[in-house]
């Protein structure tokens, strides 16, 4: 059908087709779109919908009057123009290619293409306005996070004070009448009833921890003296969470404090273990062996101890230490380095970091009475036997302190392990070597054996271990074969060895 349309006629026809399609959508072919249809498709759709084309067209033999635009020479396209149906059908084409195709059309066709797009936009807006609001999904906007990222506050527990207990209940033997707040953190560690810190040291510790803003405490002393157990015990007795974290030369700032992470194209800050602990109210944080830490980690820690906040370098966010958080450092050295060579990897700590410590408490070995009590409770061995073992350990420590055996350092852990071996029937000398001697320098192992020969009577230990009373026999009636000391091979310079 040879029909021509002016721009106004084409626009009016499109409007009428859209209106009829809403009333009778089944009369047009499936997939028919007004903004992509060709002239032949428009005419076919109009006829199917019963539209009189004579009202919207100009007969072929009658030329419509020329508009003012058409009186001027037509602009020539840069390349051969294509109808809208051609460029929209190519779904693989880029938006730039499609835009170029539209811009290359003659002015009158370009105007119609723009009009089609605006008309389609109006239709879409009308459809959206009539859709049920409960089915509408919000679309992301520029600058809005489009993926879920971890929220650090999700892991923070709500902790409240529930009651108080006397200080002498927390630390037995302490002369302090204050009441200690107790909290309800469900992750609070179990309490070791056999752990009893020195009352004099406990009073200084309690003084720091009872301040409105807790003072930081630095515990130092030989291995196995209960430095790490102290803050764990305190957290358990007061219902606080306990966060132990060891420092080494391999611990980086990213691991300790945190770093930037990415998810779904979105970057966000992710806390390290230390900052996770700092966000938890009333937490007790133990930083173990800080003298082995890297300088950059200790420098960043220094800032947190001073200001009780950490500034994220990448974002500028200020992460504040939560209310009631208490920080304890524990080390084998006093922060000035290790001259004995016993603690490899330790370094001298920054003086500014040490000055942030409200108290620097040296933790030594427990008293003989206390160690005997703990040893018996932990192993189930008779107290008289445990007392004899503690006496041997004390002599070993004295040899170390006198400089006779620099590597002969024995702790409560060694006392417990050695006693457990002997309870299983292992010979005392062999048990001492397995737990202590085999890790010593040869000359120090010899010193340990000398202590055994001098201060240990194996018959006495055997009787006490069996729960029997021991009465030393008279010297003149003691048979030679019962002597616990094994003589050397005849060389007078050989040290005696026990069997």
CATH of the domain at 322: 3.40.50.300
Q: Which of 276-290, 330-344, 447-461, 468-482 has the lowest mean pLDDT?
A: 468-482
What pLDDT is recorded for position 489?
41
What pLDDT is recorded for position 222?
84
Which residue did the predictor score with more confidence, 295 or 34? 295
Residues forming beta bridges with residue 309, ordered by sequence position: 320
Instruction: Looking at the structure, tell me whether residues 493 and 395 fall in a common domain.
Output: yes
| Backbone dihedral region for residue 217 (phi beyond 0: left; psi -120 to 50: alpha; all else: beta) | beta
Contact 358, 215 (CB under 8 A): yes
What's the pLDDT tens digit per position in 324-365? 999 999 998 888 877 666 677 778 888 888 999 999 999 988
Residue that terminates a domain, selected from 323, 346, 362:
362
Is residue 147, in this structure, part of any structural domain at all?
A: no
What pLDDT is recorded for position 382?
93
- The model scores a pTM over 0.85: no
Is residue 300, in this structure, part of any structural domain at all?
A: yes
From CA 218, how far away is CA 360, in angstroms rounded? 5
CA distances from 143 to 140, 146, 268, 269 (A): 9, 9, 14, 17
From CA 76, how far away is CA 124, in angstroms rounded? 34
Instruction: Looking at the structure, tell me whether residues 305 and 319 fall in a common domain.
Output: yes
Instruction: Looking at the structure, tell me whether residues 115 and 9 fall in a common domain.
Output: yes
From CA 333, how far away is CA 348, in angstroms rounded? 9
From CA 368, how far away is CA 378, in angstroms rounded? 15
Instruction: Looking at the structure, tell me whether residues 317 and 429 fall in a common domain.
Output: no
Alpha helices in 187-335 (DSSP H): 199-209, 229-238, 253-256, 273-279, 295-307
pLDDT tier at 120, thresholds 50, 70, 90: confident
Which residue did the predictor score with more confidence, 476 or 398? 398
What pLDDT is recorded for position 495?
33
Is residue 132, in this structure, part of any structural domain at all?
A: no
CA distances from 358 to 33, 153, 306, 309 (A): 79, 29, 11, 18
Which residue did the predictor score with more confidence, 229 or 143? 229
Is residue 142, in this structure, part of any structural domain at all?
A: no
Q: Which of 55-64, 70-79, 90-99, 366-375 has the lowest mean pLDDT?
A: 70-79
Residue 273 pLDDT greater than 60, yes or no: yes
Q: Which of 120-134, 237-251, 292-306 has the lowest mean pLDDT?
A: 120-134
Residue that terminates a domain, selected from 310, 333, 362:
362
What pLDDT is recorded for position 1?
55
What pLDDT is recorded for position 164?
95
From CA 333, how far away is CA 294, in angstroms rounded? 16
pLDDT tier at 143, thresholds 50, 70, 90: low
Residue 322 pLDDT greater than 90, yes or no: yes
Instruction: Looking at the structure, tell me whether residues 183 and 323 fall in a common domain.
Output: yes
What pLDDT is recorded for position 493?
38
Is residue 139, in this structure, part of any structural domain at all?
A: no
Residue 116 pLDDT greater than 50, yes or no: yes
DSSP state of 197: -
Is residue 50, in this structure, part of any structural domain at all?
A: yes
Residue 391 pLDDT greater than 60, yes or no: yes
Instruction: Looking at the structure, tell me whether residues 61 and 22 fall in a common domain.
Output: yes
DSSP state of 333: S
What pLDDT is recorded for position 376?
92
What pLDDT is recorded for position 432?
93
What pLDDT is recorded for position 491?
41
What pLDDT is recorded for position 59?
60
The per-residue DSSP string of 432-488 comes to: HHHHTGGGS-HHHHHHHHHHHHHH--HHHHHHHHTT----PPPGGG--GGG-SEEP-
Mean pLDDT of 364-393: 90
Vertex 361 angle, CA 355 and 365, to 5°:
150
Instruction: Provide the residue range defining the domain that includes 307.
Output: 152-362
Give percent above pLDDT 70 in the chain: 79
What's the pLDDT tens digit per position in 301-319? 998 999 999 998 888 889 9
pLDDT tier at 384, thresholds 50, 70, 90: very high
Instruction: Looking at the structure, tell me whether residues 172 and 277 fall in a common domain.
Output: yes
pLDDT tier at 89, thresholds 50, 70, 90: very low
Instruction: Looking at the structure, tell me whether residues 192 and 251 fall in a common domain.
Output: yes
Tokens standing for 25? 């959508």
Which residue did the predictor score with more confidence, 234 or 347? 234
Q: Is 93 helix (H, G, I), strand (E, B) or coil?
A: coil
What's the pLDDT tens digit per position in 147-198? 677 888 888 999 999 999 999 999 988 888 899 999 999 999 999 887 888 8
Which residue did the predictor score with more confidence, 407 or 108? 407
Question: Dihedrals φ, ψ of 181, to 5°?
Answer: -65, 145
Mean model confidence pLDDT for the chain: 81
Residue that terminates a domain, selected from 316, 337, 362:
362
What pLDDT is recorded for position 492?
36
Instruction: Looking at the structure, tell me whether residues 423 and 441 fall in a common domain.
Output: yes
Tokens 């020195």: give the residue: 198
Mean pLDDT of 356-384: 90
Tokens standing for 252? 């980086």
Contact 330, 287 (CB under 8 A): yes
What pLDDT is recorded for position 180?
94
What pLDDT is recorded for position 70?
45
Instruction: Looking at the structure, tell me whether residues 357 and 440 fall in a common domain.
Output: no
Instruction: Looking at the structure, tell me whether residues 334 and 438 fall in a common domain.
Output: no
Residue 369 pLDDT greater than 60, yes or no: yes
What pLDDT is recorded for position 86?
45
What's the pLDDT tens digit per position in 71-81? 444 544 444 44
Looking at the structure of the chain, the number of domains it has is 3
CA distances from 357 to 90, 158, 207, 306, 405 (A): 72, 28, 13, 10, 32
Is residue 431, in this structure, part of any structural domain at all?
A: yes
Contact 458, 499 (CB under 8 A): yes
What pLDDT is recorded for position 484?
47
What pLDDT is recorded for position 474?
67
Instruction: Looking at the structure, tell me whether residues 195 and 120 fall in a common domain.
Output: no
Residue 381 pLDDT greater than 90, yes or no: yes
What pLDDT is recorded for position 234?
95
Is residue 313, in this structure, part of any structural domain at all?
A: yes
Q: Taken in order 376, 382, 387, 390, is the CA torsion positive or negative?
A: negative
Helix (H) or strand (E) holding 121: helix 107-130
């Amino acid at each position: 059908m040879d029909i021509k349309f002016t721009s106004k006629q084409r626009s009016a026809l499109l409007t009428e087709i859209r209106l009829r399609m809403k009333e009778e959508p089944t009369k047009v072919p499936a997939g028919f779109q007004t903004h992509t249809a060709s002239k032949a498709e428009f005419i076919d759709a109009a006829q199917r919908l019963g539209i009189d084309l004579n009202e919207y067209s100009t007969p072929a033999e009658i030329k419509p009057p020329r508009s003012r635009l058409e009186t001027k020479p037509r602009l020539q396209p840069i390349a051969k123009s294509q109808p809208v149906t051609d460029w929209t059908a190519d779904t693989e084409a880029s938006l730039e290619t499609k835009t170029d195709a539209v811009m290359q059309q003659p002015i009158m066709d370009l105007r119609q293409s723009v009009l089609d797009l605006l008309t389609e936009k109006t239709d879409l807006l009308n459809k959206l306005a009539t859709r049920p609001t409960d089915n509408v999904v919000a679309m992301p906007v520029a600058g809005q996070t489009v993926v879920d990222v971890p929220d650090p506050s999700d892991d923070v527990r709500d902790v409240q004070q529930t009651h108080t207990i006397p200080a002498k209940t927390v630390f037995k033997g302490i002369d302090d009448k204050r009441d200690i707040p107790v909290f309800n953190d469900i992750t609070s560690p179990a309490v070791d009833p056999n752990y009893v810190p020195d009352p004099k040291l406990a009073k200084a510790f309690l003084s720091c921890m009872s301040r409105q803003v807790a003072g930081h405490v630095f515990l130092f002393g030989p291995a196995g003296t209960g430095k790490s157990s102290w803050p764990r015990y305190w957290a358990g007795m007061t219902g606080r969470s306990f966060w132990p974290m060891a420092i080494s030369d391999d611990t980086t700032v990213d691991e300790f404090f945190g770093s930037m992470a990415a998810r779904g194209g979105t970057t966000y800050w992710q806390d390290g273990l230390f900052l996770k602990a700092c966000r938890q109210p009333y937490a007790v944080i133990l930083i173990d062996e800080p003298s082995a830490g890297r300088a950059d980690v200790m420098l960043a820690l220094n800032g947190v101890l001073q200001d009780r906040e950490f500034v994220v370098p990448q974002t500028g966010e200020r992460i504040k230490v939560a209310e009631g958080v208490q920080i304890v450092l524990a080390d084998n050295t006093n922060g000035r380095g290790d001259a004995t060579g016993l603690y490899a990897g330790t370094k001298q700590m920054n003086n500014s970091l040490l000055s942030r410590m409200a108290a620097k408490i040296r933790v030594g070995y427990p008293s003989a009475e206390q160690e005997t009590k703990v040893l018996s409770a932990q192993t189930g061995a008779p107290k008289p036997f445990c007392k004899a073992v503690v006496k041997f350990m004390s002599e070993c420590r004295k040899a170390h302190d006198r400089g006779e055996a620099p590597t002969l350092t024995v702790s409560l852990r060694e006392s417990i392990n050695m006693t457990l071996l002997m309870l299983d029937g292992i010979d005392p000398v062999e048990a001492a070597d397995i737990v202590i001697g085999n890790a010593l320098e040869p000359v120090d192992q010899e010193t340990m054996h000398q202590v055994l020969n001098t201060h240990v009577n194996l018959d006495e230990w055997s009787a006490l271990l069996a729960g029997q009373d021991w009465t030393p026999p008279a010297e003149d009636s003691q048979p030679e074969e019962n002597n616990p000391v094994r003589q050397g091979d005849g060389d007078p310079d050989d040290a005696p060895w026990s069997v």
